[in-house]
Amino acid sequence: EDGINHEAEQFAYITRKPLADKKLEGEVLDLVAECEKVKQVRRGSNEVTKAINRNMAEFIVIAADTVPVEIVLHLPLLCEDKGVPFVWVRGRDALGKACGLPRPVTSCAVL
């Protein structure tokens, strides 16, 4: 069980690769939190898209429980085109907390 409600989105989970395991997810979120302290993080789908297009992003973190998932489905394609590594994590809430916000975050870019 990967912690995602697959019944709500019958086939969308197929696109959520690579999904970080719990250890990697913890390390990624810790790294995002450290980068946030020095203002090297862009949050949200629009800001992440801009960071990728401007060749500013070092890597991208995408929340797998984003609803609707179409909000972030363009990001893996964009990352592959630009050669930017990306990973899916399980929760928007945990990603938001790592980004220093009290609300959920769908995606973030580390600069």
- pTM for this predicted structure: 0.85
Specify if 7 maps to a domain: no
Q: What is the mean pLDDT of the chain?
A: 89
List 89's β-bridge partners, or say none: 63
Specify if 41 maps to a domain: yes
Going across the sheet that includes 107-110, the strands are 41-43, 107-110, 59-63, 86-89
Residue 64 belongs to domain spanning: 12-110
Q: 66 or 7: whose pLDDT is higher?
A: 66
pLDDT value of position 31: 97
Specify if 3 maps to a domain: no
- Taking only the tens place, the pLDDT of each residue in 67-96 is 888 899 999 999 999 999 999 998 899 999
Specify if 2 maps to a domain: no
